Amino acid sequence: MGLMTFLRNRAGYILIGAIGFAIVAFLVGDAINVGKPFWAESQKVVGSVDGEEISIDQFGPKVDQSLAQFKQQYGGSGNPQMQAMAVDNVWQGELAGILLGKEYTRLGLTVSSDELADLIKGNNPSPIIVQYFGNPQTGEVDRAQVLRTFKEGYKDPKVAPQLRAVEIEIEKQALQKKYANLITNSIYVTTLEANDEYLNRNKLASFKYTVLDYASIPDADVKPTESDYSDYYNENKERFNNPTETRSFEYVAFSVNPTKADSAAVKTQVEKLAADFRTAANDSLFAAVNSDVKVPYTYMSKGKLDPAVDSVVFNLPAGSFYGPKFSGNSYKLVKVVDTRFSPDSVKASHILIDPSKLGGVDKAKKLADSLRTLVQNGASFATLAQQYSIDGSKDKGGDLGTFSRGQMVPVFEDAAFNGKAGDLKVVTSQFGVHLIKIEKQVGSSKVAKLAYIEKGLVSSNKTRDAAYKQANSFLNEANSGNFAELAKKKGLTLGVADKVTPTQGFAPGLDNPRQLIRDAYEADKGDVLKEVYQMDNAYVVARVTNVMPKGTLSLEAVKKDIEPMVRIAVKAKMLTEKANKALEGASKIEQVAQKLGKQVAPVENIVFANPIIPGAAQENKLVGAVFGSQPGKLSKAVDGSQGVYVFSVDGFSNPAPLANTYKQKETMMQTNAQRSLGAAFQALQDKSKIKDNRVKFY
């Protein structure tokens, strides 16, 4: 890969920093979800870690780069969810950089100049160097190319900063690896632990049980007391730690979907458009001006359009007209301008000439014509490419490899696919003047040049205005006390978005909720937000229903959420009392089942590590009790997840002695090391004071 191609293709990714590295990604994981949106004094502070501020000036460009990568990876023009992913991606990287950087200093971790040089130019290069300079097939790095790139690059003041950025990322990755090694090398598994794990996964238990299902008691018959709530809360207090502040809100939506009248109006408009399109003198210009979706005016292969259109158009001869065809949510109109059979892919090389360095396009074309003549007279195309081309492919003799339609700009594509193997063609694109050598053409299939118009079925201004007036009227009437009642009175559906985080890019039923969420974080519990929010298909009015602060939540804050669990806990007490009475005087599981009016269910070959009861559910407490019991002994009542159980163990089947303790230890150490990496990073966060102001900016 050449120097210019390297910089052009990779420089944007360098800005993202350590985000893309596997070690940091693992360390961060889902653990980073911290901070409370306190308002910073500076309007530019996105957040801070132990007083070290993160400015929007440095944060914003990285978000733009991250978003661009997501768009490239997932397609589309971006949406609130993708934006939220990009913001969180960069935020995690910033936290990782600051927290891990402090750890490196505290631990004395460094990368010497000799280490860095070896990682770039040595026999064991950094994964970054392998990624950029490695052969995709063999993984081998072209060391000569690496040396040439860095040697030449540092002489160019425009290139040198980019190369330094690469070195910084290589250094960061090396430090991350050292830190991870420190943690993983501290993990040890004893022989006793290895044998216990082996038994947990291989020792088999067979037992019989009878169960009193919680569902046997109607919910209406259970009235939890304040003491029941308090007991459950205190026994499970660790579950109620809220890692970040959340808001809940309710809302009503006023649809702006097209009405029947809108549909009829659009259909009339499209029919007129179709009549004009049939007789248009300039098909490509007419389509470009009138289509909501821009489709390149070039030859394309089957499978690129909406299936409802694609299946018909490619069977029509040149000169045909198709449409209006309604599919999806739009009308399609297509003119088949031309059809032909064309290669499926082309292998080509090129020499790219920059007109600005030669005094204009005419002089660049003249040079390209001269080079073409030299090649026709026997000169080496590859040698000329290395000498004259400004493209990174010059280091490969101008070789662009094999490409299919849609991968090159239209003028380049037309030249490559419409010529024949051996042709030398000169074309001009937005990148400069190209001398193209068609090396090989592969396959042949039908392609068509289409003039394409797509018109979406959209709501009229009248429909949107009416919906907005309804929403605004509701907003003027609504207050903290009457929001839900007013919605019911007007026959509106009340939507609920529960426990929404500050940077969340989605909310149930809402397609573009970011501004609503931001405003919710500036409001108090019970406040009706003062704005009518425009979504893609609706206007929305909302009210904040709850604020859940960061930290351990109070019983009052979680009381509604834990009500189902408290009710089950009360049922468990009732059924345990019933089971204990049945156990009195009983010596066999069948006797207990008879007293309870239940059946005895046999279970074979259950392992401790997989506590699933066939036909029931995952019952951790039950299976744990089974493996802690003696065969033939009737158990006490056990309150499980689905009901209260009484059981009797038939017996255990022990596996053969562990043959390879070392291998078992190694497997466990790998698993424990992964967990420890995440735990270590979580510990760094817990020790730090992190402020998160992202909701003020995104």
pTM above 0.75, yes or no: no
Q: Which residues neighbour 444 within 8 Å (Cβ) at sequence distance 6 or greater? A: 341, 342, 343, 344
Q: Across 388-444, where does the E strand assignment appear?
A: 399-404, 424-429, 432-442
Topology of the domain comprising 345-442: Chitinase A; domain 3 (3.10.50)
Element (H, E) at 230: helix 226-235
* Share of residues in the chain with pLDDT > 90 (%): 66
Indicate if 345-442 has the same CATH topology as 246-257+460-548.
yes
- Residue of 182, 165, 181, 170 whose CA lies nearest to 111: 170
pLDDT tens-digit readout, 361-409: 999 999 999 999 999 999 999 999 999 999 888 888 999 999 988 888 8
Domain parsing of the chain, residue ranges: 3-184+689-696, 204-242+556-653, 246-257+460-548, 260-342, 345-442
Q: What is the mean pLDDT of the chain?
A: 88
Residue type, 691: K
User: Where residue 36 falls among pLDDT bands split at 50, 70, 90?
Assistant: very low
Distance CA 580, CA 82 (A): 55
> How much is the average pLDDT of 266-273?
95
Task: State yes or no: pLDDT of 33 exceeds 70.
Answer: no
Sign (positive/negative) of CA torsion 67, 68, 72, 73? Answer: negative
Task: State yes or no: pLDDT of 2 exceeds 60.
Answer: no
Distance CA 96, CA 100 (A): 6
Residue type, 152: E
Cα torsion at 529, 533, 539, 541 (round to 10°)? Answer: -10
pLDDT tens-digit readout, 52-81: 999 999 999 999 988 988 888 777 777 788
User: Where residue 17 falls among pLDDT bands split at 50, 70, 90?
Assistant: very low
Q: Provide the pLDDT for residue 15.
A: 38
Q: Across 288-344, where does the E strand assignment appear?
A: 299-301, 321-327, 330-342
For residues 71 and 82, is the Cβ–Cβ distance under 8 A? Answer: yes
pLDDT tens-digit readout, 406-418: 888 889 998 999 8
* Share of residues in the chain with pLDDT > 70 (%): 93
332 backbone dihedrals φ, ψ, rounded to 5°: -120, 135
User: Where residue 136 falls among pLDDT bands split at 50, 70, 90?
Assistant: low
Distance CA 47, CA 35 (A): 9
Angle at which helix 160-184 crosses helix 661-687, to 10 degrees, equals 120
Cα torsion at 567, 572, 573, 576 (round to 10°)? Answer: 160
Topology of the domain comprising 246-257+460-548: Chitinase A; domain 3 (3.10.50)
Distance CA 224, CA 232 (A): 11
